[in-house]
C-alpha cells in the first residue's frame, strides 16, 4: 500500500519547511529510517527519514520549494502500484502571477553551452532545480544584484546546486580589475536626464529562517512594550584581563564577548527580576541564566543558548560559544540548542557599530546590544585621558522590567566589567 510522505515538524517553532536536497530520486528504493531528504527549517537544516519501505514513486515538492507542516511532499509505494489516488489528494501548487516587467522581458533561462570568462576559463551551466527554476540563496541573490553579476553564468556549490555566498565571492574574485583613468581626462559633459521606466525585478523565495524572523519580529516589536537604557563602560581592565588570560594559555582564545556573557549571567542572578519572562497570567522567574548569543548566518540570525552560564567558567563559555556558533553557521544545531534562553546578548562591535538597539526575542524579558570597544578621550580627575569605551543598550519588556530595575541591572554589569576581578570573588 502506498505511503504518504508529509512535511514533518522538525523544530518546536517550525511552521513550514523548504526542501534543501532530495537524498533519493524517483525510482530509488528506500528503507524505513533511511535519510530521504534534507529540510531547511526555521533554524537549521535537518534530515527527514523515510517512515516506510518501498520505492520513492513520486516527488511532489522540488528542491528549493516550501510546504507547510502536514502537506504531502512525496509518495513511497511498490514499483508497480497505482498511486494516482494518493497524488490526486495533494493540493495543487500555487504559483504567484508573473508581473509584467517594466522593460523588455529577459529571455527565460535555458541550458546554454559553456562560455569563457575574462580569464579564458570555461563557465559552468547555471544551477537549476528539476522544475527549471534557478536555486539561489537570498544573500547570494542580493550580493549578485549589488555587483551586477548574471546568476545564469554561475555554478552553485551549495546543496542541490544552490548558488550561495561563496559562489558570488569566487565570481567577484575572477573579475578583471577596473583600468585606471588615462592621464588626459575630458571634462564632464552633462547630458539631459533620460526618464526610464520602472526597474524590472526578480522574486526569490524567502528562506525558512528569514520567514521565521519576520513572523517573530511582528510578535515582538508590536505586542511587547519596549523601552531602552544605554550606558558607557570603561573596558580597559576587561581588555587587559583578556590579554593576560590568553597570554597564559593561547588555546583558550577568550574574547571580549565571552567576558560579557559571563558578566551578564552573573548580573542576572543578582537581579532575578530581569532574569524573567511575562507569561500572560504570571511572571516566570528563572533560577539559572541561560544566555542566548546572537550569531549571524547566511540567511539570517540564530541565537544558540549557553545553558547555566552563571555556573560556567570563562574557558567553558568561550569553548561552548565557538562550538555552537560553528554548528549554527553550518545549520547543524538541535532545536534545544537555540530555544529557551532567559536573556540574550547581541554584539555588533566587530562590525564597527558603536551603538544600536536590539529587538527582544519573546518570551525573554530583555536583550543587551553591545557596541565596539573604541579608544576615546574622557575626563578623569579634571584631566583628559584616553580610555577604551564601550556603549551598551538594553531593550526591556516593560511588562516585566521597570525602568529602575533595568537601570540597577546595567549598573551591576558596568561595575563588574570595569572591575572584572568581581568575577573571582
- CA-nearest of 162, 231, 193 to 411 is 231
What is the DSSP track for 83-149? -HHHHHTSPPPP-PPPPPPSSSPPPPP------B-TTSPBPPPPPB-TTSPBPB-HHHHHHHHHHT-
Q: How far does CA 3 lie from the centroid of its chain?
A: 35
CA atoms within 13 A on the CB side of 71: 18
Cell numbers at residue 243, please?
A: 590579554
Residue 303 · residue 325 · CB < 8 Å: no
316 half-sphere exposure, CB direction, 13 A CA radius: 9
Catalytic one of 155, 226, 288, 398: 398
CA–CA dist 111, 113 (Å, integer)? 7
Question: In sequence order, what are the residues at sequence separation of 6 or more whose Cβ sits closer than 8 angstroms to the Cβ of residue 98?
Answer: none
Torsion of CA 382, 383, 384, 390, to 10 degrees: -60
| Strand-pair partners of 21 | 38
Please state the length of the chain: 425
- My answer on whether omega of the bond before 363 falls inside 30° of 0, hence cis, is yes
398 a catalytic residue: yes
Q: Of 423, 358, 370, which Cα lies nearest the Cα of 397?
A: 358
> Which residues are part of the catalytic machinery?
398
Amino acid at each position: 500500500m502506498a505511503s504518504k510522505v508529509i512535511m514533518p515538524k522538525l523544530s518546536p517553532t517550525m511552521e513550514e519547511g523548504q526542501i534543501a536536497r532530495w537524498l533519493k530520486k524517483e525510482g530509488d528504493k528506500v528503507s524505513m529510517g533511511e535519510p530521504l531528504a534534507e529540510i531547511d527549517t526555521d533554524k537549521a537544516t535537518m534530515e527527514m527519514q523515510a517512515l516506510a519501505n518501498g520505492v520513492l514513486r513520486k516527488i511532489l515538492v522540488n528542491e528549493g520549494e516550501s510546504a507547510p507542516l502536514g502537506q504531502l511532499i512525496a509518495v513511497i509505494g511498490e514499483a508497480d502500484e497505482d498511486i494516482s489516488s494518493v497524488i490526486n489528494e495533494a493540493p495543487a501548487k500555487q504559483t504567484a502571477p508573473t508581473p509584467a516587467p517594466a522593460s523588455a522581458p529577459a529571455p527565460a533561462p535555458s541550458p546554454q553551452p559553456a562560455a569563457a570568462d575574462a580569464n579564458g576559463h570555461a563557465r559552468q551551466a547555471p544551477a537549476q532545480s528539476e522544475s527549471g527554476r534557478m536555486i539561489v540563496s537570498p544573500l547570494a541573490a542580493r550580493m549578485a544584484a549589488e555587483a551586477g553579476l548574471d546568476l545564469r553564468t554561475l555554478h552553485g556549490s551549495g546543496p542541490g546546486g544552490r548558488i550561495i555566498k561563496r559562489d558570488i565571492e569566487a565570481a567577484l574574485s575572477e573579475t578583471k580589475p577596473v583600468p585606471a583613468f588615462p592621464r588626459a581626462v575630458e571634462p564632464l559633459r552633462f547630458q539631459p536626464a533620460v526618464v526610464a521606466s520602472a526597474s524590472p525585478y526578480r522574486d526569490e523565495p524567502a528562506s525558512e529562517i528569514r520567514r521565521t524572523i519576520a513572523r517573530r519580529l511582528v510578535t515582538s516589536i508590536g505586542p511587547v512594550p519596549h523601552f531602552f537604557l544605554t550606558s558607557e563602560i570603561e573596558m580597559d581592565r576587561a581588555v587587559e584581563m583578556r590579554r593576560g588570560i590568553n597570554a597564559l594559555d593561547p588555546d583558550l582564545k577568550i574574547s571580549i564577548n565571552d567576558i560579557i556573557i559571563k558578566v551578564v549571567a552573573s548580573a542576572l542572578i543578582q537581579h532575578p527580576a530581569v532574569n524573567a519572562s511575562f507569561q500572560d497570567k504570571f511572571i516566570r522567574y528563572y533560577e539559572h541564566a541561560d544566555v542566548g548569543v546572537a550569531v549571524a548566518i547566511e540567511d539570517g540570525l540564530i541565537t544558540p543558548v549557553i545553558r547555566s552560564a552563571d555556573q560556567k567558567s570563562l574557558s567553558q563559555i568561550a569553548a561552548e560559544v565557538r562550538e555552537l556558533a560553528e554548528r549554527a553557521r553550518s545549520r547543524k544545531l538541535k532545536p534545544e540548542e537555540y530555544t529557551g534562553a532567559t536573556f540574550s546578548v547581541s554584539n555588533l562591535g566587530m562590525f564597527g557599530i558603536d551603538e544600536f538597539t536590539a529587538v527582544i526575542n519573546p518570551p525573554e524579558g530583555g536583550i543587551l546590544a553591545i557596541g565596539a570597544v573604541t579608544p576615546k578621550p574622557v575626563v578623569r580627575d579634571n584631566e583628559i585621558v584616553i580610555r577604551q569605551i564601550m556603549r551598551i543598550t538594553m531593550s526591556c519588556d516593560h511588562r516585566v522590567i521597570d525602568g529602575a530595575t533595568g537601570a540597577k541591572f546595567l549598573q551591576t554589569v558596568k561595575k563588574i566589567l570595569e572591575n572584572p576581578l568581581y568575577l573571582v570573588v
